[in-house]
Every structure is written in C-alpha cells, then in structure tokens.
C-alpha cells in the first residue's frame, strides 16, 4: 500500500492539462455494450476506476484494449447478464450495467451495492425508472433482478428527495435508447457528464433531445452502432489542480479544460479574492494574499459540486475569517475534517455545515484518506503546510486522479510516492 510524502510551503506555478472525465467515461464504457462491434473511446484517464470497469466489461464478455488514453471495446452478440457482488461492491459505477444490459438483453441480475464511505447512495430512483419502462423488479438473495419482454417508453419524474440523480438519469437513458416508443425523463440531472453520455448515445444512433436540460426525451430505436468518441475534460480534476495553485499562493494555466463546466467553482475562487481569467479551453488562476471568507452551498449542477467540497474545506482553512460550507448531497462527507484538524485547521461540524475559522498556517502531519475527494483535500493541505506530511491510503486518490503526484511535480510540488 502506497502513501504520499509531501514537503509543503512551495508556491506551485506552471501549466497543466486536464485529463478526460472519469465520471463521464465510466458510464460511456458501459453504454458501448448497447451495440455489437468495436467502439473507440478517446481522452480516457488512466485511473483505477477505469481499470476496474474494464474488468467488469470483460466479465460481461466484451474484449477491451486500453493504450495511450484510448479504449477499444469489442462487444459480442451475446453478453453475460449478471453482475456479481464481487464486481459491484468495489465500484458503484459498475451499477450502470443495469441500463445497458436491459437495453441489450431485456434482463439483468445485479448485486445490491454495499455501503459508501461518504453516505448512502440509494438505488430506488434507478428501480423506479426501470419499472416505468415496463420492467418487473424483484430482490432475491442480495440481487436486484429486472425482467421485461420489451422495454416500452414512458413519461416519468425521476427527481429524488435530494434532487436529480446523475446515476439514475444515465441508467434510464441508456435503457430507453432501445425501448419501444418515446421516453421523457423529467427532473433529470444536468451535469456535463450526463450530457456527454447522451452525446455518445446519439453518436451511436440514439435519438435524445433536451440534453443539458431537466427534461430529456428519448425516442427509442431498433439498434445502435459502434462509434469513435472523445470524452470531455474532467472538471473536478481541473478544479482540484487550480485549488493546488490557490492554496500555495501560486499560479496555474490549466489547459484542455472546459471553463463553463467549472463556473460555480471559478466564481468562488473570485469571491475569495483570487485572480481568475478564462478563454475557450483555458483557465488562468493567480493567487493573491488578501482573501475573503465565503459561504458555499453544495447543490447539484450547475451549483457548487459536492466533489469539490473537501478541497475547498482545505483552501478555506487558510482564509482569514469564518467561512461556512453547507453539504446538501451526502451526509458523511466531512471525514477529512478530523485529519485537517491534526494539521492545525480550526473547523467545527454542525449537522451538514462545516464552520471554518481561518488559521495563519497549517503544520505537516501524518494523515489518512477516507475517500477519493478527501484524499485530494489532504494532499492540498499538505502542499500548503509547513514541514513534511504523509497522506496514507492513497489508493483512494488513484481511483480518480491520473498520476496526480507527477502533475503536481511539474508545477513545483515536492511530493513523492512511497510504500507504507
């Protein structure tokens, strides 16, 4: 098991490019199962979640080749329709096979996923959507079993108690692409990753309209075809790298990104006081000294993303005054806070609020990551802290950030990977 050893206090300066979006490519990989033949997916990040999804696809009988950020996925006529517990428990995104296999096979058996370190992620909206498409759903021996003679289009409202569901929107959209008739998803998620999956499906021959809106319409087609497709940049990785420059008092040119996808985060950088400029595919951030505390309300896109909450908790811990973050998506997403406190941060939790009182400096310390974004938050804090820090359990960060230590070293970070 590896850890990061980081010597903090270095201003990070330079130029980096964003990788492809992990949260877009995982469902796109699964969506390739909706057609027989060979699809090519480009701009794919080389992260552990992608490597694991390859194993899922291979279990389902697809052949996969991954080289130089390009996936070649060859899908046979006959697929497995069962995703066992040992596959699903390790990565919740494997749950996307439900929509694809229902579209291809009209049946699927998927193990119920286990718990999640950052809170519950219920599957009720997925099931509700599939039932609207005419599926009979049963729960047997820890498996959700869905069966239908023929998927039929339906008009449905898919928003849950905490707002739209990215996973349910994508899952139902995939299945509805091969359903008979028209499906309308009201209350659909509008995250860029949802839109990218829709564009991928349309490139395969699907008929999806209302992309990037809360009402998506899918006119079912008889069959789809393989496609050559490039994935959007990763807005969360890009925003995390910009935060690394901000928290260390440095500056960064982030290239090959989509600034529009990061608009809520960029606006908070500006509100804090940092100098931020954008053009078509580039963001420039230059940190300043006189900073302002802010309030952040975490909500579904286009508002401030839950996947950047932990990183901004680290950033705001060094901003003079009192900042408040309200986390409205996941109920257990403050597990990085006790680790930050060990470095000298002054943060208290009140329900779903983090009350952050800025301190003058953080001090290096050994820390332990609990999940993907928490691990990024601890790396950021360590980059700014005085002295040496360790971040253990970095297999979490490897799930969603491609060789983050190599990227950070390019802009001056003193960070190395070592065995625990």
Structural domain boundaries in the chain: 2-19+233-419, 22-230
Q: What is the pLDDT of residues 326-339, one digit of tens each?
A: 999 987 789 999 99
> Which pLDDT score, from 0 to 100, does residue 85 have?
83
Q: How confident is the model at residue 161 (pLDDT cuts 50, 70, 90)?
A: confident
Residue 114's pLDDT band (boundaries 50, 70, 90)? low
Report residue 121's pLDDT band, with 50, 70 and 90 as the boundaries.
Answer: low
Kindly indicate whether the domain formed by 2-19+233-419 is annotated with CATH number 3.65.10.10. Answer: yes
pLDDT digits (tens, 9 = 90+) for 202-258: 999 999 999 999 999 999 999 999 999 999 999 999 999 999 999 999 999 999 999
pLDDT of 95? 86
Among residues of the chain, what percentage have pLDDT more than 70? 98
Mean pLDDT of the chain: 95
For the segment 343-351, the average pLDDT, to the nearest whole number, is 97
Per-residue model confidence as pLDDT tens digits over 34-89: 999 999 999 999 999 999 999 999 999 999 999 999 999 999 999 999 988 888 87
Give 361-400 pLDDT, tens digit per residue: 999 999 999 999 999 999 999 999 999 999 999 999 999 9
Phi and psi at 328, nearest 5°, equal: -105, 0
135 noted as active-site residue: no
| Burial class, 92, CB count within 10 angstroms (exposed 0-12 / middle 13-18 / buried 19+) | middle
Is pTM beyond 0.85? Reply is yes
Say yes or no: domain 22-230 is CATH 3.90.1260.10: no
Nearest partner of 129 among 105, 104, 148, 143, judged by Cα: 148
Catalytic residue among 36, 116, 135, 257: 116
């Amino acid at each position: 098991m590896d850890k990061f050893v980081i010597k903090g206090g270095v201003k990070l300066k330079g130029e980096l490019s964003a990788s492809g979006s992990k949260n877009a490519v995982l469902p796109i990989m699964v969506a390739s199962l909706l057609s027989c033949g060979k699809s090519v997916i480009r701009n794919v990040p080389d992260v552990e979640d992608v490597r694991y999804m390859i194993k899922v696809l291979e279990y389902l009988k697809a052949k996969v080749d991954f080289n130089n950020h390009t996936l070649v996925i060859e899908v046979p006529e006959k697929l497995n329709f069962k995703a066992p517990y040992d596959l699903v428990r390790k990565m919740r995104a494997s749950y996307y096979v439900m929509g694809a296999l229902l579209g291809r096979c009209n049946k699927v058996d998927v193990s119920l996923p286990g718990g999640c370190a950052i809170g519950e992620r219920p599957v009720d909206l997925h099931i509700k959507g599939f039932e609207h498409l005419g599926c009979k759903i049963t729960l047997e021996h820890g498996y959700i079993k869905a069966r239908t003679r023929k998927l039929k289009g339906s008009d449905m409202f898919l928003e849950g108690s905490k707002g739209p569901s990215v996973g349910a929107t994508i899952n139902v959209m995939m299945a509805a692409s091969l359903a008979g008739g028209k499906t309308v998803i009201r209350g659909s998620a509008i995250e860029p990753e949802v839109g990218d999956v829709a564009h991928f499906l349309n490139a395969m021959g699907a008929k999806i309209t209302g992309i990037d809106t809360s009402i998506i319409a899918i006119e079912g087609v008889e069959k789809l075809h393989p496609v050559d497709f490039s994935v959007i940049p990763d807005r969360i990785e890009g925003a995390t790298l910009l935060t690394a420059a901000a928290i260390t008092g440095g500056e960064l040119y982030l290239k090959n990104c989509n600034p529009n996808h990061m608009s809520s985060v960029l606006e908070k950088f500006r509100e804090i006081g940092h100098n931020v400029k954008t053009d078509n595919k580039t963001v420039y951030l230059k940190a300043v000294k006189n900073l302002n505390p802010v309030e952040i309300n975490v909500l579904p896109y286009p508002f401030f993303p839950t996947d950047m909450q932990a990183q901004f908790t680290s950033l705001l811990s060094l901003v003079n005054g009192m900042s408040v973050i309200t986390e409205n998506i996941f109920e257990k997403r403050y597990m990085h806070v006790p680790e930050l406190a060990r470095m000298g941060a002054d943060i208290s939790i009140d329900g779903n609020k983090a009350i952050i009182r800025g301190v003058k400096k953080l001090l290096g310390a050994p820390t332990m990551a609990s999940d993907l974004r928490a691990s990024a938050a601890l790396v950021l804090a360590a980059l700014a802290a005085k002295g040496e820090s360790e971040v253990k359990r970095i297999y979490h960060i490897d799930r969603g950030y491609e060789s983050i230590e190599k990227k950070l070293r390019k802009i001056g970070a003193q960070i190395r990977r070592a065995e625990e």
